[in-house]
Amino acid sequence: MKKVLFIFLITIAIIGCKKTKFSPEGPTDIRVRNLQNEYTLQNVIVKTAGGRDTTGNIKNLGSIPPDTVSAYKRFAIAFAKAEISAEINGDTFSTGAINSTYMNYMGQMKITYEVYISNMADKQLTIYQVIPEGDLDSL
């Protein structure tokens, strides 16, 4: 009888354990700051996981006027580098594809990618820096 009771309690304990909805990799809340003085970044798309599963890792942040930031969007995972593309005067500018295979995760936090046009002729965007803004509000 004790053996059956023990097995029953162990089974209940295992079934009762819940997996947390957060993992050490993320989620990460991301926003983009437009460092340009004269150009609005339109249709800004951020892809945070090059070569990995893209579910939850590609988001459209909309338009970002000069010297402003977008709203935060939640990504499943994020790294210090991301592929960011935007339309400026009808042309598509991009930071280029990334390979995130050996990069460390940013983790459960809010971050801001600061972006500027580094080469107008080649339609090149560059991430100036990544600013950690703090922990997620609701863990």
Instruction: List, for residues 72-103, the tens digit of each pLDDT value.
Output: 999 989 999 999 999 999 999 999 998 888 88
Spatial separation of the C-alpha atoms in residues 34 and 36, rounded to whole Å: 6
Domain around 71: 20-135
Query: In this structure, are strands 124-135 and 109-119 parallel, antiparallel, or unpaired?
Result: antiparallel
Q: Give the CATH number, domain containing residue 103.
A: 2.60.40.2890
Residue 1 lies in a domain: no
SS3 2: helix
Spatial separation of the C-alpha atoms in residues 57 and 50, rounded to whole Å: 9
Confidence band of 50 (pLDDT split at 50, 70, 90):
low
- pTM, two decimals, is 0.79
- Number of independent structural domains in the chain: 1
- Say if residue 45's pLDDT is above 60: yes
Residue 101 lies in a domain: yes
Spatial separation of the C-alpha atoms in residues 34 and 63, rounded to whole Å: 10
